[in-house]
Amino acid sequence: MDTGRKANREANETTLQYKTRHDALLVEELNDDKLRRLLEFVSRLEKTPPGAAELQRRNKLFGECKRIEGETSGEFFARLRHWLDKSITPKKPRRHASRQAGD
């Protein structure tokens, strides 16, 4: 086996995985833009009666979703998106509760 070729191939793979500083800035700008659009959506949602009620229910069930100090735009976007996507379906009441209690 030619170890020189293997070393070159591994070095090339490492180089291809490396993000340039410019690429990292582009990703961060994209994340900032996605977060800005999501926050605008939430702001518009708050201005409608059904939207405001929905956000209040989410705050009551899951707690407020505020940006944590030091959190990147991408991290906050993902957490806010998850918070908005969580299902609020009401839990079904237990059937025949008196029978389950041992009565």
Which carries the bigger pLDDT value, residue 25 or residue 92?
25
What's the pLDDT band for 25 if we cut at 50, 70, 90? confident
Where do the H-state alpha helices sit in 1-103? 3-17, 21-46, 49-62, 73-85, 97-100
Which two structure tokens, joined as six digits, stand for 89? 């379906």
CA gap 40, 37 in Å, rounded: 5
Q: Angle at the Cα of 97 (from 96 to 98), degrees rounded to 5?
A: 90
Res 6: pLDDT = 67
Res 100: pLDDT = 54
Residue 39 has pLDDT above 80, yes or no: yes
Instruction: Note the pLDDT tens digit of each residue in 43-74.
Output: 999 999 999 999 999 999 999 999 999 999 99
Which two structure tokens, joined as six digits, stand for 7? 């070393």
